[in-house]
């Protein structure tokens, strides 16, 4: 772990110097290597001056006459075993003078074909690009008399081990999650999808950090228009630093000001592959364990990956529960306030009496009460998330039990209101991806229903519907697949049908709609 920090730091920052140099339009920019090793090294050293992590190893090759050779790499970013065994060792012991070992080969061919025994070796003529790959963890080998550099892929730095993601735990299902290394993440996806149709397109993004991102899709399932649209929007990202997917998301998402997410993230390879198989596109950003999935529809708030790993009846029940809890978390305070303030006739008399007696002596109107309690709940939640877990638990106990109890006894808050807000909060945890949305919605509904009761509530619902129906995610209507009552689409929306029954992929998303070759109930 100790090695990670400087390495990570330099991977993010080191390229700055390069671009800073580039900005000044220094004469070295865009220059090619020439045959004189000394001048090449001077140019590189000039560009990388004040960079202590770069190591220059000079070797005198066993040729006649002697030729000088430089092996350049960044300390901590290369696999030292590979470097020592397959590069340095061979360069040191190879007998270049022996013509039998390399008959009729040019010197560079000898190096390429007889000496450098690593998998990925390329040649690079342009100095800037060579330095770019050096800083990405490759080894440069420069030899006197050869007007290009050998770029050897010997990357190897300390990475976090693969573990189960904290944010998306499942009871049944794979326990691996993405890590901060892009290549490792891609291999996790590739291992689940052994098919040449899985395409991975690399891009550099961020004018200074030059972060590597990878756009992943399955050819034949993903719609080409959407892929084109993704490229078009990614081209517009001209931010200088990309450290996390959110930096990109906020550039490429539709409706940037809406509280609704129109682009999803996931930390799990199995979820990512599942989305790919539905015809979605996944973007991975180097340095972050979160993958972007798009297009993202409203429906996906309610689809959890564990739905697909549990029995379909249980998953369908869970999914229904999630819809109900979304309704509860957004509407309970509003409905309570509307009932108590405007439509008392709807409450059964006994309940009304007990509510009235509980409210006796409470100084605030119901709407203010609800607002205070919702705010208090959000405060506690945020405090619990930020603190380490033992302290967080203490905070929630103090908050929930002591504060709530004391507030009711002191007649600041009425007891039914505590129940209402607790219900709101608890049901909010069932759809964990949308804390922001449900909180805003509950406040908005509360506000409007405190003015004209249920009708205010319904006006607010209409307003929210107008907003949501006007949203799109990469050309797809945000509410699509949810609003229609089609047998075909109901199978993975309100309920989760058994796998042998889900013959088709979600409509609009994919080009090849059929996912099950031979539908039918299994008959053992």
d(CA 390, CA 324): 31
Judged by beta carbon, residue 309 or residue 451, the one nearer another protein is: 451
d(CA 121, CA 140): 10
Interface with another protein (CB under 8 A), residue from 76, 264, 279, 477: 477
d(CA 160, CA 137): 17
Judged by beta carbon, residue 12 or residue 480, the one nearer another protein is: 480
- What letter would DSSP give residue 518? S
Write the interaction track for another protein spanning residues 289-328; mark x where CB under 8 A is met and - where it is not.
----------------------------------------
Shortest approach of another protein to residue 376 CB, angstroms? 29
Write the interaction track for another protein spanning residues 323-362; mark x where CB under 8 A is met and - where it is not.
-------------------xx-xx-x--------------
- Total residues in contact with another protein, by rule CB under 8 A: 25
Q: DSSP for 276-335?
A: HHTT-EEEEETT-S-EEEES--GGGGT--GGGGTS-HHHHHHHHHHHHHHHHHHHHHHHH
Residues 208-227 that bind another protein (CB under 8 A): none
Shortest approach of another protein to residue 306 CB, angstroms? 27
Query: Interface with another protein includes 458 (CB under 8 A)?
Result: yes
Tokens found for residue 107: 């010197």
CB 492 within 8 A of CB 303: yes
- What letter would DSSP give residue 345? G
d(CA 160, CA 8): 12
Judged by beta carbon, residue 165 or residue 456, the one nearer another protein is: 456
- Per DSSP (E only), the strands in 386-507 are 472-473, 476-477
Burial class (CB in 10 A: 0-12, 13-18, 19+), 292: buried
Piece in contact with another protein (CB under 8 A), picked from 96-104, 176-184, 388-396, 483-491:
483-491
Judged by beta carbon, residue 393 or residue 469, the one nearer another protein is: 469
Shortest approach of another protein to residue 353 CB, angstroms? 15
Phi, psi of 442 (to 5 degrees): -65, -40
Judged by beta carbon, residue 21 or residue 460, the one nearer another protein is: 460
Shortest approach of another protein to residue 506 CB, angstroms? 16
Interface with another protein (CB under 8 A), residue from 64, 485, 521, 524: 485
Judged by beta carbon, residue 5 or residue 354, the one nearer another protein is: 354
Query: Interface with another protein includes 479 (CB under 8 A)?
Result: yes
Phi, psi of 21 (to 5 degrees): -65, -40
Tokens found for residue 41: 């090294």
Judged by beta carbon, residue 152 or residue 337, the one nearer another protein is: 337
**Hey, CA dihedral for 427, 430, 435, 438, is it positive or negative?**
negative
60 pairs with which residues across the strands?
68
Query: Interface with another protein includes 466 (CB under 8 A)?
Result: yes
CA angle 224, 226, 232 (to 5 degrees): 105
Shortest approach of another protein to residue 255 CB, angstroms? 12
Interface with another protein (CB under 8 A), residue from 39, 195, 409, 470: 470
Q: Where are the alpha helices (H) located in 161-308, listed in sequence order?
A: 182-192, 224-235, 245-252, 269-277
Judged by beta carbon, residue 163 or residue 484, the one nearer another protein is: 484
Judged by beta carbon, residue 279 or residue 477, the one nearer another protein is: 477
Judged by beta carbon, residue 309 or residue 504, the one nearer another protein is: 504
d(CA 325, CA 170): 19
Q: Which long-range contacts link 80-89 to residues 24+ away (Cβ below 8 Å)?
A: 80/156, 82/118, 82/154, 82/156, 83/139, 83/154, 86/116, 86/117, 86/118, 86/154, 87/116, 87/118, 87/139, 87/141, 87/152, 87/154, 88/57, 88/59
Residue 172: CB atoms within 10 A of its CB come to 9
Query: Interface with another protein includes 463 (CB under 8 A)?
Result: yes
**Hey, CA dihedral for 98, 103, 108, 113, is it positive or negative?**
negative
Shortest approach of another protein to residue 471 CB, angstroms? 10
Shortest approach of another protein to residue 360 CB, angstroms? 23
Judged by beta carbon, residue 148 or residue 298, the one nearer another protein is: 298
Helix (H) or strand (E) holding 200: strand 198-205
Shortest approach of another protein to residue 239 CB, angstroms? 29
Shortest approach of another protein to residue 338 CB, angstroms? 9
Judged by beta carbon, residue 466 or residue 517, the one nearer another protein is: 466
Residues 43-72 that bind another protein (CB under 8 A): none
215 pairs with which residues across the strands?
201, 283
Query: Interface with another protein includes 260 (CB under 8 A)?
Result: no
Query: Interface with another protein includes 457 (CB under 8 A)?
Result: yes
Judged by beta carbon, residue 425 or residue 477, the one nearer another protein is: 477
Shortest approach of another protein to residue 458 CB, angstroms? 5
Write the interaction track for another protein spanning residues 427-456; mark x where CB under 8 A is met and - where it is not.
------------------------xxxxxx
Shortest approach of another protein to residue 455 CB, angstroms? 5
Interface with another protein (CB under 8 A), residue from 19, 258, 316, 483: 483
List residues near another protein by CB under 8 A: 342-343, 345-346, 348, 451-459, 462-463, 465-466, 469-470, 477, 479, 483-485
């Amino acid at each position: 772990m100790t090695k990670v920090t400087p390495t990570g730091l330099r991977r993010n920052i080191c390229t700055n110097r390069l671009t800073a140099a580039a900005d000044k339009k220094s004469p070295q920019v865009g220059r090619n290597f020439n045959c004189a090793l000394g001048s090449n090294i001077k140019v590189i050293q000039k560009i990388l001056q004040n960079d202590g992590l770069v190591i220059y190893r000079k070797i005198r090759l066993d040729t006649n006459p002697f030729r000088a050779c430089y092996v350049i790499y960044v300390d901590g970013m290369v696999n030292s075993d590979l470097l020592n065994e397959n590069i340095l060792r061979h360069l040191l012991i190879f007998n270049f003078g022996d013509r039998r070992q390399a008959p009729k080969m040019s010197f560079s061919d000898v190096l390429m074909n007889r000496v450098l025994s690593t998998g990925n070796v390329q040649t690079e003529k342009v100095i800037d690009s060579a330095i770019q790959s050096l800083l990405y963890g490759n080894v440069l080998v420069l030899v006197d008399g050869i007007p290009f550099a050998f770029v050897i892929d010997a990357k190897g730095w300390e990475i976090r081990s693969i573990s189960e993601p904290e944010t998306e735990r499942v009871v049944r299902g794979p326990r691996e999650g993405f890590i901060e290394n892009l290549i490792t993440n891609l291999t996790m996806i590739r291992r689940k999808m052994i098919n040449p149709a899985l395409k991975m397109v690399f891009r550099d993004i961020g004018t200074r950090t030059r972060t590597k991102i990878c756009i992943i899709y399955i050819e034949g399932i993903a719609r080409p228009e959407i892929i084109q649209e993704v490229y078009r929007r990614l081209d517009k990202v001209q931010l200088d630093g990309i450290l996390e997917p959110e930096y990109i998301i906020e550039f490429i998402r539709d409706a940037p000001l809406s509280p609704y997410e129109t682009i999803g993230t996931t930390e799990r390879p199995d979820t990512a592959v599942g989305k790919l198989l539905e015809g979605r596109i996944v973007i991975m950003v180097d340095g972050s364990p979160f993958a972007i999935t798009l297009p993202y529809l409203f429906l996906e708030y309610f689809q959890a990956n564990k739905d697909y790993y549990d029995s379909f009846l249980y998953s369908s029940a869970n999914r229904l529960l999630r819809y109900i809890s979304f309704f509860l978390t957004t509407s309970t305070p509003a409905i309570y306030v509307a009932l108590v303030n405007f439509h008392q006739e709807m409450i059964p008399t006994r309940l009304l009496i007990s509510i009235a007696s509980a409210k006796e002596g409470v100084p605030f109107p119901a709407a203010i009460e609800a607002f205070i309690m919702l705010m208090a709940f959000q405060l506690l939640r945020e405090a619990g998330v930020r603190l380490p877990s033992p302290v967080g638990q203490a905070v929630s106990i103090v908050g929930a039990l002591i504060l709530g109890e004391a507030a009711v006894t002191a007649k600041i808050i009425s007891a039914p209101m505590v129940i209402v807000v607790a219900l709101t909060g608890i049901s909010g945890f069932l759809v964990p991806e949308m804390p922001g949305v449900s909180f805003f919605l509950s406040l908005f509904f509360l506000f409007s229903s405190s003015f004209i009761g249920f009708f205010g509530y319904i006006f607010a619902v209409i307003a929210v519907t107008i907003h949501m129906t006007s949203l799109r995610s990469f050309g797809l209507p945000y509410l699509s697949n949810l609003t229609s009552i089609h047998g075909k689409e109901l199978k993975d929306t309100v309920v989760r049908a058994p796998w042998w029954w889900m013959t088709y992929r979600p409509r609009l998303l994919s080009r090849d709609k059929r996912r099950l070759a031979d539908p039918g109930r299994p008959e053992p």
